[in-house]
Structure 1
Amino acid sequence: MSISTSDIKDGYKDAILLPKWKAFQTIIFLECDVGLDDSKKIAAFDFDGCLARTSVKRVGADAWSVMYPSKPEKLQNFYNDGYKLVIFTNESDIERWKNKRQVAVDSKLGRLENFIKLVKVAIQVFIACGLSHGVPEDPFRKPKPGMWIIMEKEFNSGLPVDTNQSFCVGDAAGRPDHHSDADIKFAQAIGLKFYVPEEYFINLD
């Protein structure tokens, strides 16, 4: 799995992406935020239900809120400790909303950009747009590790990730009240320590 310059697009199918965002196959990504440093230590996060509280009933760049008040401080601490912060998030609406794809793209990218502005720390972002029931299965949609493989191989300055120092935080942990187990299985496929959001953030609130 590799990327050439010709593989990278400025839009996702018929949707135009915001500046700095690019597309590769079924991924939309923010490769290099201002101040982002590649690292062997990766702090990986889901977005919806982990970093931000969102609703499937609302769309728009401002239709979200921070899950825990401690989150900006915690993320800034990780950054200062030499971690590269990376968001890996699934967003099948971008693929499913064929007649409103631009709306879905603007909503997701706008929320992510506004979150990054709020926490005041550089974050790399990968969005898997493939469908959960696709045939064949999309290699980038969590729990598949494709987004991680692309990040480490193509967008980390050739630095191999130290999985012993890296970790993953997500809300989809397969518990009875959870919508799926995609995040924990994503972490397991890579070999990362896994935590649910309250384990990492609530103790600072």
Structure 2
Amino acid sequence: MKTLGIIGGVGPLATMYYGDMIVRLTEAEKDQDHINMIILNDTTIPDRTAFILDSTQTNPVPVLVKDAQKLEAMGAQVITIPCNTAHTFFKEIQESVNVPVIHMINETVHRASAEGAKRVGILATTGTIEAGVFQQSCRDAGLTPVLPDEEIQRDVMTVIYDQVKAGRPTDVNLWEKITKAMEALHCERIILGCTELSIVKKELQLDQKFLDTLRVLAETAIVRCGGKVR
């Protein structure tokens, strides 16, 4: 099987959850049935959203590119980045290495389409929303992207930065407010377009209406590396 390289640290908790998820989702009866992983938990990568919203902030691309090249040099044959916002710079990262980088956003949108969704809600960082990567991917797949209004977007950022990234529990009432707002927009699927929101899905045991980009990435990585999904 192929060796998987993971550009992590964006954020650290989501990275560890992603690694755990890959192991748990792999159909295996012994150690040797699992895929090899190289996890580079690089917490020095500058904040992606900060740079997207203000180009005078530190550019994360050189560090992301360096990490991808480091993983390739260490023997990674497939690379994943468990950070939706970092996929704003997907082209630069992919062009810097000679091994495939899995595009978690496109894979998740394709999953939504395969499940029959037409109107897809997007919950993500403001940087990801501003970059438009989910919106473009949805349109390319013939889906209608549905975005939260400014108030709900602020609430989403509170959950991501002030709660999950800060190591605090998710405010259940705040999450219910976000959910009701998106349901009122008639979303058939709601994409959790930030890996910190994958932690929220686990904590709050969210139903299948919420499509977890981290799980889609994990399942795709297992298959691309030659393993089987449990």
TM > 0.5: no
- TM-score, normalisation: structure 1: 0.32
The structure with the greater share of residues assigned to helix is 2
The structure with the greater share of residues assigned to strand is 1
- TM-score, normalisation: structure 2: 0.29
